[in-house]
Structure formats: structure tokens, C-alpha cells
Amino acid sequence: MKRMMATAYVLSLLTVAATMTPAAHPAFQQSTVVNIRIARTIKSVTYRPNSDPSPIGFQGTALLPRAAGKAYVQNKRGITYIDGEVSKLQPASTYGGPYLTYVLWAITPEGNASNLGELIVSGESAKIKASTNLQSFGLIITAEPYFAIGIPSEIVVLENVIIPETRGKIEAVDAKYELLERGRYEAGIFEPMSIDPKVPLELYQARNAARLGQWLGVDKYATESWAKGLIELKNAEGFQSRKENNRKSVQMMARDATQIFEDARVIGLKRQEEERLTNERRAAQERQARARAEAEAEAQRRKEEEEARKRAELEREIESARRERAEAEKMKAELAAAQEAQRRAEAEAARAKAVAEQETARLAAEEARRRADDARKREEEARKREEEARQRADQARLAAEQAAREKAELRARLLQQFNAVLETRDSERGLVVNMGDVLFDTGRYTLRQIAREKLARLSGIVLNYPGLKLQAEGHTDNVGGEAFNLKLSEQRANAVREYLLSQGIPADNLTSAGKGFSMPVADNKTAAGRQQNRRVELIVSGEVIGTKIGN
């Protein structure tokens, strides 16, 4: 019965997509999608590389004035980690029908927004644990329909604030980013969902992503992606309707469905925008001459403004470098003074020790005859202790050799098990699991089904050894621009990391990085060589196999 109800729910989504046309709903009287520019001014911090964690505060906006929190931000080896907590939250559904969860965003000084992940709310509190390749950014928290949304809503409930302990370069950001107007979200079809605690929140988010995409009409512009999302949603609903459902499987499929719906939404809106731009270009041909002149003037003005900005930025960098040099000289002088004081203290201690040793020797000489027997006894005890120490040393050596053998055996066993799933080789960095380009769609970072199956099998092995550390590294060939290939490699590495997270591997044991085409393993002049270079390598290391990531 539950399976029939789940199937009916998916069919009802298809029915809504077929019946909700722009003419059928008041929210579509002007246009299907309304893009506006929302401006907020927050503080951006440039966090120093490889420095100690820097604290930063969070305060609630007018939408949630009681909310507050704190986080620690640290940049290590090019990755910025964010760890903290916020409190006094209220359910995201308080802000209207489409809102189900909270999402953490990084806003760059240029106003670009990056989704850093969903907040897992417990009561009125939520933990923050995220990472980003960005170094300069501000942080906001928004209410969203689902975790994978690509642009922030205007429901900003918390913003970062600078506290006295915050370290780094701080500047105000006039952050402007595109989003859907709140009133458009709250059309009649977006009635609040009745949340059943027995049903994973991820499933409600997938349903929300489906009805939002249908309302926007993206199913007509991204049909292939949309069909895949419906299949994943149907599978999640099927697992949920079973008498003994697997909650993790429901969560995994629902998250996949949500991500696919978000990809479809991005593709659909882009194609809608392309269609709209095509129509506008067709209508604007007669105004091109005047527009061209205005555009050239505007380009010249922007060029001058950009040159002025660069000059100002260069001056700031020069001033910052001057201050850093002065600070370094001060620290050098303080270190020299401390070293000199330490040398004097050590010399004084040595003199005192020499006097004490002389006094001890004198007293020992006076009592030597009386304590000869005691000395012999102590000598015998010393020999015994020396023998015991040698025995303990032998035992420690044998234990160390045993541990080394066990690590080598585990390493060989893991190499064999990994090779049964994917091509794996041993290296100084650890075990390198190679995922070829065929596990991704061309030019995309979405994992194919076979890739998810292999990674699921790989996760089952890794979960048996909690001490293992994994780093996903994306690589490309040299076809296309450097920036494009670097971003694609980062996206593919992160897709692998996100999927491994969904399989239960702890986030502390997972990292990802994109290498672009900087580390080829074959000649890019041939098709076969380029195919070998398009890969994602999973570096498996850890003390249990005698290797750490980075060695």
C-alpha cells in the first residue's frame, strides 16, 4: 500500500508539471523566472595560509534576531576549513512553504556565492563543518528549499561578524547575487509540507526540488536530466514505502535526486535565458549601433575604474608587505633577546650544577669506605636493571617489527581488495586507486552508475579500517583552457568525496583537490594518452598502513 502511495506521489509531480503553465498560475503573469539583484553588505576576511584557526562570529538578521553563533576558520595547504555552531534557530519552514533547510554560503569580495553545505539542525542548534578552496570570503546562512540549491535565497538569517579575535585581512563586501524573488517562491503550489519524523528530511528536499523545478518549467528545457531525477526520486519513494525500508538508501537516493533536479534547474534556466536572449537580440537589431557606442564608452569607464582599483589594491598590498616586514623584524629582535636570556640562564644553571657536583663528590669521597658494600650492591642492582632494560628494548624492537609486518600485510591485502574493484597501485604516498574518465559523462562531473557502484564497494572495504585517510584528486588532459580543466578536476574530485561521504565515511577522513592537467601520466599528444590523463585518483593512506597523506 505504501509503495502504491509513493508511486502516486511521483505521478502527481508529473501531473503538476503538465498542468502548471505560465497562464495557469498568477505568479507567471509577467514571466516564468524573475531574476533580481539583491545587495547585502557583509565583512569579508582573507585568511592567511597555513595559520592557526581564526574565530569569527555569527549574528542573526532581522529575520532571526535571536540567532547567534561562532566558528573557527583555518587555511591549510590551500583548503580553508570552517568548524563552528549556531544556536536559537527556528524551523526553516517558518519562512514559507518552499523552505525546508538551512545552507551555509561563502560570498567572495566579487559577490559570487558558493554553497558550502547543509546545516544539520538539532533542536534550536546546528553544527557547522565545511571546507572550501576560497581564501577570501564572508559567510551567510539562508533558508532554502533543498541542500543542493545553486544560488542563495533572500531569506538570510545569519551573517558573519568580525570579533576582536578575528585574524586576517578584513574588508566590507557589497555582495550582489541573483536569486528568485521570495514572493515568487510562495505561489499557491508551495504550501508548507507536513513533516513526518519517520521520513528522512532528504526525501522532502527531493520532493521540494521536484515541485520547484516543475513550477519553473525546467522539465521542458532539461528533459534528460529531469527524467533521471524523477527516476531517482521514484526509487527513493519505493525504498521509503517498503515495510522495512533502508533509511540510508532512501537518504542516498533522495540526495542524488535533489542534485540531479538542481542540475536540471540550472540547465533549464540557462536554456530559458538563452531563449529569452535570442528573442531580445532579434528585437534589438535596430538599436545595435547606438548600443555599441554606449557599450564602448561603458567599457572605457570600467577599464579606468579597474585600473584605479588595481592601483589601490597594489598600494594596499605594498603597505601590507611593509607592515609584515616591520612585524617580522620585531619578532626577530624579540626572539634574539629571548635566546640570549636562555643562554644566560643555561650558563648559570651549569655553574650551579658544577658546584653541586663538586660538593657531592667531596661527601661521597668521605663516605666511600663506609659505603663500599652499599656501592657493590647498587652496582649489582644496576647490572640487573641494565639487563632488564636490554630485555625491554628487545621486546620493543620485536613489537615494532611485528607492527611493521602487520602494516605491510594490511597494505598488501588492501591493494589486492582495491584492485578487485578498480585499478590500484602502491606508491610512497599510499595506495593510489585510479578512476578513469569513463566513469563520468564527457565534460561533466556527475558520477555514472557504474562509478557509484564501484565507490560503494570501495567504501565497504574502507569502513572496515577506521584509521584510513582518503584524498580524491581530479586530473584532466590539456584539451581546453587551464581554468576550465582545473575547475572540472575539482568538481570531479569533490563529486567522489561527496559520494564517499554519503556512504558513511567520516568527513574528517576525506579530502579532495583538483590538479587540472598539471600531473599527466601519459603523452597528451595521443587520444590514448589523453584518456589515461582524464582520471580521478583516490589516495588511500594512514598510520595503519604506514603512510600519511602528504608524505
pLDDT digits (tens, 9 = 90+) for 249-274: 888 888 888 888 888 888 888 888 88
In a domain, 87, yes or no: yes
Question: Do 479 and 346 share a structural domain?
Answer: no
Question: Do 135 and 43 share a structural domain?
Answer: yes
In a domain, 318, yes or no: yes
pLDDT tens per residue, range 38-84? 556 788 898 888 889 999 999 999 999 999 999 999 999 889 999 99
More confident: 362 or 82 = 82
Task: Report the distance separating Cα 232 and Cα 249, nearest Å.
Answer: 11
Neighbours of 461 (CB within 10 A): 16
Q: Which three cell numbers stand for residue 109?
A: 569580495
- Answer yes or no: is pLDDT of 29 > 60: no
The pLDDT value recorded for residue 251 is 85
Question: Do 515 and 448 share a structural domain?
Answer: yes
Please, are residues 497 and 512 in contact by the beta-carbon 8 Å criterion? yes
Please, are residues 144 and 129 in contact by the beta-carbon 8 Å criterion? no
Show the domain range for 439: 407-545
Question: Do 217 and 200 share a structural domain?
Answer: yes
The conformational region for residue 281 under phi > 0 = left, psi -120 to 50 = alpha, else beta, is alpha
Q: Who's near 29: CB < 8 A, 6+ residues apart?
A: 22
Neighbours of 173 (CB within 10 A): 19
Largest CA distance in the chain: 119
Cα-flanking dihedrals φ and ψ of residue 163, to 5°?
Answer: -115, 165
Question: Do 93 and 26 share a structural domain?
Answer: no
| Listed residue (150, 179, 113, 178) closest to 260, CA to CA | 150
Q: Which three cell numbers stand for residue 547?
A: 603512510
The pLDDT value recorded for residue 398 is 76
Question: Do 351 and 319 share a structural domain?
Answer: yes
CATH code for the domain of 154: 2.60.40
In a domain, 397, yes or no: no
Domain boundary among 180, 206, 221: 180
Q: Which residue, chain included where needed, has cell 546562512?
A: 141
In a domain, 375, yes or no: no
Question: Do 214 and 124 share a structural domain?
Answer: no
Question: Do 311 and 200 share a structural domain?
Answer: no
More confident: 365 or 174 = 365
Pairing of strands 136-144, 101-107: antiparallel
Domain boundary among 119, 147, 180: 180
Question: Do 310 and 349 share a structural domain?
Answer: yes
| Listed residue (499, 517, 516) closest to 462, CA to CA | 499
Question: Do 532 and 449 share a structural domain?
Answer: yes
- Answer yes or no: is pLDDT of 379 > 70: yes
In a domain, 396, yes or no: no
pTM exceeds 0.75 for this model: no
| Listed residue (145, 177, 140) closest to 160, CA to CA | 140
Domain boundary among 337, 365, 393: 365
Domain count across the chain? 4
In a domain, 188, yes or no: no
Question: Do 44 and 28 share a structural domain?
Answer: no
Question: Do 306 and 265 share a structural domain?
Answer: no
